């Protein structure tokens, strides 16, 4: 098959890609023909101004991967109108792959998403099998990725940065979220506040999000393993109950977070803008969790880059009204400013809180340039703060 039959370029359908002309109809035409020919829409370099694009099933939407952490990339889609719901509408995009695309919301509208799925628009009950690889979604006034009613999606080596809502909002199940950046979003980097379940969340960097890092309200059967959490304004991880509506019983009920594994993560300097001493001023906050485990994680406190801001958080892990959870064997050397484990009680049966080792960061270290470097250790002289830590008793 010739290349022009494998890849369709929207510019061949009349798109300009200069960020000024409205390229909506050209992109829609390319998508439609790709669906008919079972091939790819490949964007050449350009800035494509477009109204909502309804992406069909079983195609590939792709571009050369040219973005970096701070650079936009050479192929970008931007919204054409303030009042549009999103840039890419993916409710019907079953079996579709997105590769190398950058979506820039330009701060337009009041709740404009980058990619959006809505369960009311589903045309089938089959798994969606949507793949988002090497994409960058940023500067949206809503969520970077908005998945409502999602079933079987994956996101790899992509970035959600600087969106005013969630980086990735999930109402759905069976997701694989691996090797991504979730940075500087207005709410959580990743999370959901209704029904969200069966998610493998691994090897991601979640940093500088303004509400928290990962927010699992009513989340079930998660595996949060091997991630790096840095400088959330609130907790790095929130695991709490959520109100929901039971469709079969036709009544409101509360969904408890259940069977969540949090292990092998590095969790650093959370609570940057939290009210001191509040439930937000911690690394992990758990409420009404059932059958969850938090084990083998590493915690550390400190300030902003450049030594500005407060040393935070005050607390390591806050627990209340949980049951049959294990919080064990976490390394918490300087893992909090005041208390490593805050047990607010009200638990049911089966709670295990044990073998969490470390002590809070001594006050003598708060004004150090960088108390965790070997250079600092060697320069402390006769009464280094770390000797106090090494000689102190471990807390459980």
Q: In the prediction, which pLDDT does 382 show?
A: 40
What total of structural domains would you count in the chain? Answer: 2
Residues 305 and 247 in one domain: yes
Residues 14 and 137 in one domain: yes
Instruction: Say which residue, 396 or 298, is predicted with more confidence.
Output: 298
Residue 17 lies in a domain: yes
* Domain harbouring 13, CATH code: 2.160.20.10
Q: What is the per-residue pLDDT across 188-210, written as a single tens digit (0 to 9) for each?
A: 999 999 889 999 999 999 999 99
Residues 258 and 322 in one domain: yes
CA–CA separation, 265 vs 299, rounded Å?
9
Q: Is the pLDDT of residue 58 over 50?
A: yes
Residue 195 lies in a domain: no
Percent of the chain's residues with pLDDT above 90: 81
Residue 139 lies in a domain: yes
Q: Is the pLDDT of residue 383 over 50?
A: no
Q: In the prediction, which pLDDT does 300 show?
A: 95
Q: What is the per-residue pLDDT across 363-374, written as a single tens digit (0 to 9) for each?
A: 877 777 666 665
Coil, strand or helix: which one is 104? strand
Residue 221 lies in a domain: yes
Residues 293 and 382 in one domain: yes
Q: Which of 186, 221, 255 is the last residue of a domain?
A: 186
Percent of the chain's residues with pLDDT above 70: 88
Q: How confident is the model at residue 322 (pLDDT cuts 50, 70, 90)?
A: very high
Q: What is the per-residue pLDDT across 109-153, written as a single tens digit (0 to 9) for each?
A: 999 999 999 875 444 567 899 999 999 999 999 999 999 999 999
Residues 167 and 247 in one domain: no
Residue 365 lies in a domain: yes
Q: Is the pLDDT of residue 41 over 70?
A: yes
Mean pLDDT of the chain: 91
Residues 139 and 256 in one domain: no
Strand 266-268 versus strand 228-230 pairing type: parallel
Contact 247, 224 (CB under 8 A): no
Its domain, for residue 93, covers 1-186
């Amino acid at each position: 098959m010739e290349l022009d039959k494998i890849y369709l370029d929207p510019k061949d359908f009349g798109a300009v890609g200069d960020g000024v002309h409205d390229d909506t109809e050209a992109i829609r035409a390319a998508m439609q023909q790709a669906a008919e020919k079972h091939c790819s829409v490949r964007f050449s370099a350009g800035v494509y101004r477009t109204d909502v694009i309804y992406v069909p099933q079983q195609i590939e939407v792709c571009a050369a991967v040219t973005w970096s952490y701070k650079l936009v990339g050479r192929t970008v889609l931007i919204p054409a109108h303030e009042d549009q719901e999103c840039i890419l509408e993916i409710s019907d995009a079953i079996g579709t792959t997105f590769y190398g695309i950058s979506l820039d919301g330009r701060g337009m509208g009041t709740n404009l998403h980058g990619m959006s799925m809505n369960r009311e628009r589903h045309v089938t009950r089959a798994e969606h099998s949507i793949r988002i690889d090497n994409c960058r979604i940023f500067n949206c006034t809503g969520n970077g990725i908005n998945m409502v009613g999602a079933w079987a999606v994956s996101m790899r080596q992509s970035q959600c940065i600087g969106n005013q809502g969630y980086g990735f909002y999930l109402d759905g199940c069976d997701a694989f979220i691996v090797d991504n950046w979730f940075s500087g979003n207005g709410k959580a980097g990743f999370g959901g506040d209704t029904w969200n379940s069966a998610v493998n969340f691994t090897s991601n960097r979640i940093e500088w999000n303004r509400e928290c890092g990962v927010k699992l309200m009513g989340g079930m059967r998660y595996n949060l393993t091997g991630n790096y959490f840095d400088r959330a304004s609130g907790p790095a991880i929130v695991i709490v109950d959520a109100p929901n509506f039971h469709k079969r019983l036709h009544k409101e009920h509360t969904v408890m977070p259940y069977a969540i594994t949090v292990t092998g993560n590095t969790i650093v300097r959370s609570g940057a803008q939290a009210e001191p001493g509040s439930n937000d001023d911690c690394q992990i906050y758990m409420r009404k969790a059932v059958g969850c485990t938090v084990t083998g994680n590493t915690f550390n406190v400190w300030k902003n880059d450049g030594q500005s801001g407060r040393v935070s958080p005050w607390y390591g892990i806050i627990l209340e009204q949980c049951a049959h959870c294990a919080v064990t064997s976490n390394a918490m050397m300087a893992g909090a400013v005041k208390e490593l484990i805050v047990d607010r009680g009200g638990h049911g049966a089966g709670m295990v809180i044990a073998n969490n080792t470390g002590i809070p960061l001594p006050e003598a270290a708060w004004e150090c340039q960088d108390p965790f470097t070997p250079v600092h250790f060697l320069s402390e002289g006769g009464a280094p703060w770390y000797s106090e830590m090494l000689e102190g008793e471990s807390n459980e």
